Amino acid sequence: MQIFWLPAVVLLSGWLCFGQSTPPPTATGAPSAVTGAQRPPVKGASREQGIRYYRAGKLIDAERAFATAMAEDPSDLESVQMRGLTLYRLGQPAAAIPYLERVRQWMPNANADANHVLGLSYLNARRYDEARGAFAAQYAVSPDSAAAYLLTSDMLLDADLPELAAQDAQKALEISPNLPLAHFMLGEVYLYKSDVNRALEQFEQERAINPTYPAVYDRLGDVYTKMGQYQQAQEALTRAISLDVSSTGPFIQMGKVFLRRGDPESAAMYLQHAEKMDPGNYITHTLLGQAYRGMGREEEAKRELDAASQIHASSQLKLQPVQ
């Protein structure tokens, strides 16, 4: 999750910045007459401290610092927003909502990150219409437009809510029957649910509307592979590669198709290309290992399978306790 831009250098008054045990001298060089108990808080110091905690991942301390900053200055919009973002990252999206709503109320054109996190918080609270409004604001579209429903559908699928994602994609198509990517989203939902026949139908409709979109041919290749129709899969993937040679997905999928067709030599050619493009993809190394094994190149097969195992192990999420 990104946050809005913050200055790289945080400036505080000298004695706070350098942690001196006594106040800085006055202009005459004599100690300040203001005692620690009397000294007013430095304006913005709590907010800047919260930012430092936030950047260091000390979210509990950050939330407390932003709360202090808000108590000191209720109009400190930056602290209000940062407190909302911090609460969301602490796994408290419901608690984040009032602060992020306040930012939007005070500043209707709030930055995209605040609107995005507010939308995700609404999703968590099952306030789906309000979530759509937040995502629409993030992308500067009308909340009742086909685009807003399609955006929300994408977010719902990411949130593991495929049925709701399908409903919003259907609503987008009701508003705009030829909306690009709406059928693609429905195809993604059905593919997510392993309903390959309905996924195929949706991807074919997307292809008819949006024939130059490379990803639709990649998905068609995936669906045909799952259905065991390898010739159709190869044709679709060839189209995907012809439209976009910068994506590794179709090359990996083509390698898989050739392996299924008993042609490890052709599979290796595509997989070697994918490996050069993205050496950190463990699936590529796994399939390339299988291709080498099918070619009788056991030493190279072992090297690739070992690399796949190491990459996969290192990519596993290591949960850290919240500080």
Q: Give the model confidence (pLDDT) of 79-116 as tens digits.
A: 999 999 999 999 999 999 999 999 887 776 666 678 89
> In angstroms, rounded to a whole number, what is the distance separating the alpha carbons of residues 77 and 311?
43
> In angstroms, rounded to a whole number, what is the distance separating the alpha carbons of residues 262 and 260?
5
> In angstroms, rounded to a whole number, what is the distance separating the alpha carbons of residues 253 and 234?
9
Cβ pair 39, 23 in contact under 8 A = yes
Most confident of 22-26, 82-86, 184-188: 184-188
Q: Give the model confidence (pLDDT) of 224-236 as tens digits.
A: 999 999 999 999 9
Determine the pLDDT at residue 320.
54
Write down the pTM of the prediction.
0.77
With a CB cutoff of 8 Å and minimum separation 6, the contacts of 81 are 4, 99, 100, 103, 110, 114
Phi-psi region of 13 (alpha: psi -120 to 50; beta: other; left: phi over 0): beta
CA–CA distances in Å: residue 287 to residues 134, 249, 272, 280, 305: 42, 13, 10, 13, 8
Determine the pLDDT at residue 317.
52
